Amino acid sequence: MSELTRLSAADIAAKVAAGEVSALEVAQAHLDRIAAVDGQVHAFLHVDADGALAAARAVDERRATGAVLSPLAGVPLAMKDVVVTQGLPTTAGSKILEGWRPPYDATITRRVKDAGIVLLGKTNMDEFAMGSSTENSAYGPSHNPWDLSRIPGGSSGGSSAAVAAFEAPLAIGTDTGGSVRQPAAVTGIVGHKPTYGAVSRYGLIAFSSSLDQAGPFGRTVLDAALLHEVIAGHDPADSTSIAGPVAPVVAAARDGACGDLSGVRIGVVRELGGEGYQPGVLASFEAAVETLRGLGAEIREVSCPHFGYALAAYYLIAPSECSSNLARFDAVRYGLRAGDDGVNSLEDVMSLTRQAGFGPEVKRRIIIGTYALSSGYYEAYYGQAQKVRTLIARDFAAAFERVDVLVSPSSPFVAFGIGERIADPMAMYVNDLCTLPASLAGTPAISVPCGLSEGLPVGLQVMAPALRDERCYRVGAAFEAAVEPTLASIPELVR
């Protein structure tokens, strides 16, 4: 493996800015790494080598003129295939969009390009972001670099696998119920879900509009913070975008790296642990809490009694919104068109296209959501779930009157085997037990590596009040500075 692919995003950017290495060399090193290992990892659905090299040359040309480069100029990035990219295939992991090349860029894509970040390609994902393992991709599963027989999490498993396998130092994922934090946890990297509305959803192929939020992956907390500052900020093209300043996440990460958490009140959520959690995960989490205590933090136990209802509420709200959002895939405007033989009616073509184009998990959620929204059942299901969502938000508000941040495991389990849970939806859904409350409440949360169980990574989740993302980064960076990086133990296969 090239030494360039081992560097953090911050170190790459500094070397490019100083002229110690060219952006072109960095891009080529990562493309070579992808060529060497992605046949086994399957993190990418599309690699844009020509585009990446052209973007890198542009960075080098700007540096040669003496122009001041942005903080991440010349750093490669992997983009989840749910984010629209002009001229590049964007499938959302689904056959129904196979071959679609959008005529425009998502706001995230534009901001990444404007910052001089080098887009390597599009990463694999559960179809329309519906899943926790990347096994629901129409293009086959991604593999966890720690153990290729195991899942890399989902739905952003391709992005997490790319970073963990040193194919990219940075990646973009999306988090609807935990799809940044859970993959980060099981692949031993950092992943942050920003406050809902802090990052534009314009050009993000919608799954659940009140929950979807894009966020950064990195191998360090600082790297994630640097990418967060690039993609965050108000966007008039997104009606849910927050009109306010971007949280000072980079400053918080640098401050946290000093390792002092004196005066920080940290709440351990009673309901996110115990029976059903793997013993090794709980042991790593408890050790992490003691590390935080040793850094000067005040540790308190906090009860959030309605968190136990998050799973049921989420699996009514998200499918309901998906059944509405996915109605746009009608075989008329773009994407797959099946059964158009001149005999079938438009209704038949639409039905045949959706039958052929959507996978089993997407169909399952559309059916659940359509039923929950149907006449006579709306208030009993969707309406009640929204009330539970309010109670969960109130639990957070009450907790944050007593503490500055909350902590829990990021996932109850380490990475499980590919195929192990695919036939049991409930066994799959419980992977998100720890991450769902913050998604439902719209609050920020980060996952940072906190050790190993059975030789596989465990994640520590840090949750903060809405618009206080910097608290996640400060605590995460302090913890990171105090422990040995788990990535040092990654198997030789992906070194």
pLDDT digits (tens, 9 = 90+) for 159-201: 999 999 999 999 999 999 999 999 999 999 999 999 999 999 9
pLDDT of residue 485: 64
Q: Identify whether 207 is part of a domain.
A: yes
Distance between CA atoms of residues 35 and 26, nearest Å: 14
Is 461:446 a contact under the CB 8 Å cutoff? Answer: yes
Distance between CA atoms of residues 382 and 244, nearest Å: 31
Q: Identify whether 353 is part of a domain.
A: no
Q: Identify whether 370 is part of a domain.
A: no
99-125 tens-digit pLDDT: 999 999 999 999 999 999 999 999 999
How much is the mean pLDDT over the chain?
Answer: 96
Q: Is 155 a catalytic residue?
A: yes
Mean pLDDT of the 227-251 span: 97
Q: Identify whether 159 is part of a domain.
A: yes
Q: Identify whether 258 is part of a domain.
A: yes
Q: Is 193 a catalytic residue?
A: no
Q: Is 179 a catalytic residue?
A: yes
Residue 86 corresponds to which tokens in the numbers above?
A: 């002009």
pLDDT band at 343 (very low <50, low <70, confident <90, very high): confident
Q: Identify whether 227 is part of a domain.
A: yes
Q: Identify whether 294 is part of a domain.
A: yes
pLDDT of residue 444: 98
Taking 90 as the threshold, does the pLDDT of residue 90 lie above it?
yes
What are phi and psi for residue 222, nearest 5 degrees? -60, -40
Helix 279-294 to helix 469-482 angle (10° resolution) is 90
136-147 tens-digit pLDDT: 999 999 999 999
Residue 53 lies in domain: 3-304+397-494
pTM metric for this prediction: 0.97
pLDDT of residue 494: 56
Mean pLDDT of the 297-303 span: 98
190-193 and 213-218 strand pairing:
antiparallel
Q: Among 22, 70, 80, 159, which one carries the catalytic annotation?
A: 80
What is the domain count for the chain? 1
Q: Among 133, 159, 160, 179, which one carries the catalytic annotation?
A: 179
9: domain CATH number? 3.90.1300.10
pLDDT of residue 491: 57
* Proportion of the chain above pLDDT 70, given as a percent: 98
Q: In terms of Cα–Cα distance, which of 385, 261, 255, 232 is closest to 314?
A: 385
Q: Among 94, 137, 142, 155, which one carries the catalytic annotation?
A: 155
Q: Identify whether 11 is part of a domain.
A: yes
